[in-house]
Amino acid sequence: MSQSRNVKFKLKGIFMSITLILFITYTVIAGIAMLFSDRIIFPYTGSSYGMSLSGLVVQPAEDGTPVASRYWEAPSPSHLVVLFHGNYEDLGQLDHIAMQIMSVGYSVLSMDYRGYGLSGGRPSEKRCYSDARLMIRRAQSLGFDESRIILWGRSVGSGPATQLALEINARALVLESPFVTAFRTITRIPLLPFDKFNNLAKMDKVRCPLFILHGTNDMIIPSWHSSKLFDRHRHEKILHLVDGAGHNDLWTKDRRPALLKLTGLMERYDASPSRLPDTR
């Protein structure tokens, strides 16, 4: 009996030690996420361009912080793509994407997150949403109402694009290499209660058509993120997976086919007699 009690005591001690280690590990991870998540999500510093960049406008945000945006105007555009770029890009590096989008008759408007390019301040999820709304107001000043705006988010840009899709009656939501949440690009499973850019929780409330573009060989944000977002969306949608493409080469492997699928979705939606009424 004494030996059995000793074994149980040792097992209990091992269990408590493991539990303590797990608790400390979780606490450290939670602390790092809380203190440094914005720096991890938005690591970019510096600028690839100057004030002479064509189409550049720098305007004050609600709190007075300068926010840089850029407009590429297509001839007689049918729609405007409001583009939210990835976290290692800025306005000076988007010509290759903008030109492809313009080739199907859409103009493009994009902004730099705070701390990127010539935008001032420091980025955060809340400020990102606020500045994204500023882009909608600029889009309207350019003559585009909500029904002609296509929200397009690449990687971290999927966060503000998805948020805006809840707030305006956009023509469509395009997500390129998106994530379900920011933290789950690292943890895979829901681990922390204060995750950032929770696209998955919002997706079943998005009413406009959804087009998702993702590479099957994406090692930074694996394509299962897109599959989950696609499954959660309840309305017209297309999931376009590019075989063998990674996170940064979608536009070199599959430009025209993806854009043709997107324009096809727009045309079908326009012709559909069952378009959802404006209930917002």
Domain CATH code at residue 159: 3.40.50.1820
Instruction: For residue 278, tell me if it sits in a domain.
Output: no
Average pLDDT, the chain: 87
Instruction: For residue 31, tell me if it sits in a domain.
Output: no
Average pLDDT over residues 265-271: 77
| Annotated catalytic residue 218 | yes
Of 119, 155, 158, 177, which one is the catalytic site residue? Answer: 155
Instruction: For residue 212, tell me if it sits in a domain.
Output: yes
The pLDDT assigned to 21 comes to 64
| Annotated catalytic residue 270 | no
Query: What's phi and psi for 239, nearest 5 deg?
Result: -110, 115
Those residues with Cβ within 8 angstroms of residue 70's Cβ, 6 or more apart along the chain or in another chain: 53, 54, 55, 56, 57, 91, 94, 109, 110, 111
Instruction: For residue 22, tell me if it sits in a domain.
Output: no
Instruction: For residue 17, tell me if it sits in a domain.
Output: no
Q: List, for residues 153-206, the tens digit of each pLDDT value.
A: 999 999 999 999 999 999 999 999 999 999 888 877 776 677 899 999 999 999
- Expressed as residue numbers, the domain containing 200 is 42-271
pTM of structure:
0.85
Instruction: For residue 180, tell me if it sits in a domain.
Output: yes
Confidence band for 278, pLDDT divided at 50, 70 and 90: very low
Instruction: For residue 254, tell me if it sits in a domain.
Output: yes
Q: How many domains does the chain have?
A: 1
The pLDDT assigned to 8 comes to 60
Of 38, 131, 218, 254, which one is the catalytic site residue? Answer: 218
Instruction: For residue 29, tell me if it sits in a domain.
Output: no
Whether the pLDDT of residue 141 is over 80: the answer is yes
Whether the pLDDT of residue 39 is over 60: the answer is yes
Whether the pLDDT of residue 51 is over 90: the answer is yes
Of 79, 85, 225, 247, which one is the catalytic site residue? Answer: 247
The pLDDT assigned to 253 comes to 82
| Annotated catalytic residue 247 | yes
Average pLDDT over residues 109-127: 96
Whether the pLDDT of residue 76 is over 50: the answer is yes
